[in-house]
Every structure is written in structure tokens, then in C-alpha cells.
Amino acid sequence: MVAKLTKGFWAKVARIILRNRILILCLITLVTVALAFQWTNMRFSSSEANLLPDDHPMNIQYDAFLQKFGEEGNIVALAIKDDRFKEVDKFNSWSTLSKKLDAFPEVDYVVSTENLRELVMDRENNKFVLNSFIKEDPKTNQEVDSLLGHLYNELPFYEGLLYNKETGTVRTLVYLDKDIVNTSVRKVFILNDFTNLINEFEEETGLDVRISGMPYIRTLNSQNIIDEIGVFIGAALLVTSLIFFFFFRSIRATFISMCVVIIGVMWAFGILGLLQYEITVLTALIPPLIIVIGIPNCIFLINKYQQEVKKHGNQGLALQRVISKIGNATLMTNVTTACGFATFIITDSKLLTEFGIVASINIIGIFILSLLIIPIIYSFMYPPKTKHLRHLNKKWIDGFVSWMEHIVREKRITVYVVSLLALILSIIGIYQIDISGSLIEDMSKNTQFYKDIKFFDREFNGVMPIEIVVDTEKEKGVLKPATLKRINELQNFIEETPELSKPLSVVNLVKYSKQAFYNGIPKYYQLPTSQENTFIMDVAKNSKGNENLLENFVDSTGQVVRITTFIKDVKTERMEAIEQSLLQEIAKTFPEERYSAYVTGKALLFLKGTKYLVKNLVLSLSLAIGLIGLFMAYL
């Protein structure tokens, strides 16, 4: 009974399609044009993919950090490792580069040897003042040597920040305006003004500038994705069209199929624009996915049409049977595929939900396009000639199908054994899968910016920020000697972890203040004693105009402090181990009854997001299997 109803339904669908050919083509054209106008709403993601839901504890903590201290991933780092840097003309060119960068409105400020400030004690007025490191541009190589010697040997505050004493690598930190870091303005600035200025410097001096930092990495990686979308689509079209032509040996059939999938790709971009979703690493996969799914639809429909024409020669009957017989089977395969992707919608991750919505809509869309366009276009054409049907008589295809039929009928035990062995191997393979939670794991290893990331890993122990936030739960509690001592203990632990960079916090500034108090002698770069702390704090209170030194380390109330470090590109297991050791050390150093502390940052956020993604993939896969099982039971 169900089979008869289904057959009657599809026969009716076939009649509607073939009797309203012009109207349907006009509607498809109108929808395509309307969706094409939505392309203007398409935009590429300006930030890393956040796979966690908004109410996840890690996201809540990260948002709380941003509210207090602003965007942490706004540093672009430039570095030079070259003995020629000590030449006076090269050194001065580096200073000029810093001045030019600082002049851009997209740049908040620049920290470099050019504008470096040295904290000194003004005995006469009993206050700290910031003097320029470079009083005037050096005139000789000896003056450059003297400046760099002073920096390396007498200003430990800047070690790991602006220089690597062991290798002689010098870097400049460009702090972008926090308001533009996650906007398209950042991309335009990095790809145009910033890149042009660096290229000019390299051509002028012959020095190789290494560039890194999260804004730079994100910009170039997103640009790579944009460039590769066209490559993916072109490669998918080329490969599928060649396979299609090899099978049918018909330029006409190949051209019609390519038109169908190209319209499907146009719809995919249009739906992204209509829903105003950003193009991310996931949604960028949808156009090639539509091509790969659309071509089999075309193969089923065209092959059935040619078989029917060869069988009885009646074109009208052939087209009707194509729609009524292949339409049902193709619908079920496309619906099951769409449902598989639609299971992502139930996740709490915005990124996965958007991908599931767009993918499932477009899979159904490519089914509708292929079912409508192919029969209608063929209805306007002459029936295929005998030469177009020769592929239906290929003996190797018949032989292969006969062999498969023989295996299924006569070798059932062998099929079961092979299937069981394949299942066992698959289960073993599942346990060999590594989960990558690295921000840069999926980036091309051949790009220059990836090589620069590795350079900064070696020279400065990474560019991916990790933030530790400590709430003393008392106003102005951060600068109390006991709190500073605890922060220093945690920083010592961080320095002992080889994958983490030298940390930066208010403790570094307090140590620098003591060094300045003792006339800049490097051995006094340490925490003051309780008695010294009283004197130094009295001097600091008199030092008006230097309050902004604390802004990046302590909140406005003096209650919350941040400790910033960077992590190398390490394996996920090692990153998790580092996180756990940090949490254990924090719990030991800052007791819960007196402090509240947490670890955050882009690197950890991405790690947690990857774990969350895997968890949701398992859930989605289970649901997809259940849905497909229901469809199979219905059939």
C-alpha cells in the first residue's frame, strides 16, 4: 500500500515538473539572482573559531577577563636575528620603522628600542621618572654596541620581552587598537600598510624581519582560507567533471551537470549571506561538499534517462520514469545526508549549529536543483544518439557488477569475515586518533608565517597567550607584599616550564622599581623586603604620570591582577599537562579561602573547544545513525 502511494506521488511530481518547465526554470533563475544579491552580506570570520557555547565556564571566564583588561591577542611581534643589526644604519632604520608603525591610527602603541623607557630614581624630588633609553640616534657602530650592551646587561625587565640575551635576537612589539582586533579593519591594515612597510624595510636594509603574533597569524590564515576556497571549488569541479566525462563520454551531459552544481554553489554562498553567517573553516567546506554530493545526483538521473531511452526510445516516458523512480531513491540518500549534518544543530556551539543549518539546507537544495533542471533541460533536447549510449554496453562494468553479485550470493561467509576484520581494524584505528587542540595545527607548514611561528617558539617561547587572573578579593590587595610574593612564586614556576615564556605581571614592575631605587644596579632586580617596600611605595605615590604603567597588569581597583605568559606550539597532551600543573600550582599558591584565580587565554579556549567538538561529534554521529536507521526501516 505504501509503495503504491509513493509511486503515485512521484508520478504526480513528474507530471507537474514536465508540464511547468518554463515556469520552474524562471523560478530557479529568480531564486538564484535573489541569492546572488545576498553575496554582499557574506563576510569572513575575523577571529578564531570558538567552538564552546556562550555559557561554558571557559567562555564566561574569558569574557570576564576581556571586560577587565581588554583583548589580549592584540600584539604583533617583529624580530631580527642578524649580526648586521648592530650596524648603525640598520639600527637607526629599525628605530624609524617603529616610529612609522606608531603613526598608524590602527596601532595603539609600539614598544621597541626606539621608544624604550628606563625607570630611574629622581633623588631630588623623591620620585621615579621614565627616561628615554635612546637620547639621540647613535652615530657610530660603537654607540650601538654600547646601547645594546646596556640593554642586555642592565635592563632585565625587558629580557624575554624585547630581547633574547643568549642569541642576540631583538624584537619590537606592536600593540594594535583593541577595538579593531576582531574586525575587518585589522585585516586591511595587516595585508596592506603593515606588510608594505615591512617589505620596504627589508628591501632597504637587507635584513630578514620575522613576524608573528595572534592578529598577524589570524589575518594570514584567514586569507589563506579565502584563497583556498576558490582552489577547493575549482579542484572539485575539475575532478568530478573528469570522472563524469570518463563515465558518460558526453560533453553535453558533463556541461549540464556542471551547471547544476555551480548553481548549487551559488545558492550555498547566497544562503550564507542571507543568514548573515561568517565564512569560517567549517562553512568554507560547504561549496566543495555541494559539488561532491550534487554530481552523484546527476549521474543517477542522467544514467537512468539514457537507460530508459535505450530501452524503449520514448523520451517523454523516459523523463517521467527518471523523476518517479530515481527521484525517490535520490531524495532518501540526500535526506539522510542532510539529517546527518543537521544533527550539528542540536549542539550548543554556535559555529557547529551554523554549519549544520547551512549544510543541511544546501544538500536538500542541490537535490531539488538536480531533480528539476536535468529532466527539464533534456526535455528541450533531442534524444541521445546511439554513440551517447555506448557507455551502457561497457563489458568491464557489467563484469564488475556480475562479480559483485557473485560475491554477495556465493561468498557470504567470506564477506562476513572480511567485514568483521575491517571493523576490528577500524576500532583499533579509532584509538590511534590524536585530538589536536593547537591553534596553528591546521595551518600550512610551508607558509612563511608558520616558519616565523616556529622561530618565535625557539627565541621567545611562543606567541599564543595564556592569562592567569588572580582576584585578591580586597581593594588594592594586589600590591600587598604577601600577594606580590605569591605571584612571584607562581612566576618562578612558570619560568621552570620549558614550553612557557617568561611571565609578565606587576611583580616585574615592582622588581624594576627596586632596581631603580638602588640606582639601576641589576642585582637589585628583585622583590623588595617589607621595609624596602614601604620606601619604594612612598616614592611610587609621588611619581605622578606613571600610573598607566599599572593599567596593563592590574584593574582599576587594584584588586585583580593578570599574569601573562605565552606557550609554544605543543601537542595537545602536553598542553593539557601544562594546564593541569598550572592549576595545581595556582591552587597551592593562592588558597581558595583567600583568593579566586583561573587560567584563560586563546590557546586554552581553543583546546577546550576542540574537546567539546569531539564530544559533540560523537553525539551527532549517534543521532545520525539513529535517524538513518529509521529511514532504512521505512524503506
199 phi and psi angles, rounded to 5 deg:
-60, -40
Q: Are 149 and 161 in contact (CB under 8 A)?
A: no
Identify the residue whose cell numbers are 630611574. 120
Q: pLDDT tens digits, residue range 448-484? A: 878 888 898 888 888 888 899 999 888 888 888 888 9
**What amino acid occupies position 400?**
F
- At 485 the pLDDT is 92
Q: pLDDT tens digits, residue range 505-545? A: 888 888 888 888 888 898 989 988 877 777 777 676 665 55
Average pLDDT of the residues of the chain:
84
pTM: 0.77
Q: Are 512 and 157 in contact (CB under 8 A)?
A: yes
Q: pLDDT tens digits, residue range 415-445? A: 899 999 999 999 898 888 776 656 666 666 7
Strands (E), 159-285: 163-164, 169-176, 210-212, 278-279
Q: pLDDT tens digits, residue range 43-76? A: 776 666 677 777 788 888 888 888 888 777 788 9
Residues whose CB is less than 8 angstroms from the CB of residue 93 and which lie 6 or more positions away in sequence, other chains included: 201, 204, 205
- At 350 the pLDDT is 79
User: What percent of the chain has pLDDT above 70?
Assistant: 92
Q: Are 214 and 463 in contact (CB under 8 A)?
A: yes
Residues whose CB is less than 8 angstroms from the CB of residue 471 and which lie 6 or more positions away in sequence, other chains included: 559, 560, 595, 596, 597
Among 216-230, 345-359, 492-506, which stretch is predicted with the lowest mean pLDDT?
216-230
> CA 294, CA 305: separation in Å to the nearest integer?
17
Q: pLDDT tens digits, residue range 146-173? A: 988 888 888 898 888 888 888 889 999 9
R_g of the chain computed on alpha carbons: 32
- At 390 the pLDDT is 64
> CA 323, CA 12: separation in Å to the nearest integer?
10
User: What percent of the chain has pLDDT above 90?
Assistant: 19
- At 1 the pLDDT is 47
Measure the CA dihedral 84/90/95/97, to 10°: -110
> CA 61, CA 55: separation in Å to the nearest integer?
10
Sheet architecture: strand order including 560-567: 560-567, 464-471, 596-600
**Of 431, 428, 344, residue with least CA distance to 615:** 344
Q: pLDDT tens digits, residue range 130-140? A: 888 888 888 99
| SS3 call for 129 | strand
Pairing of strands 43-44, 278-279: parallel
Strand partners, 278: 43
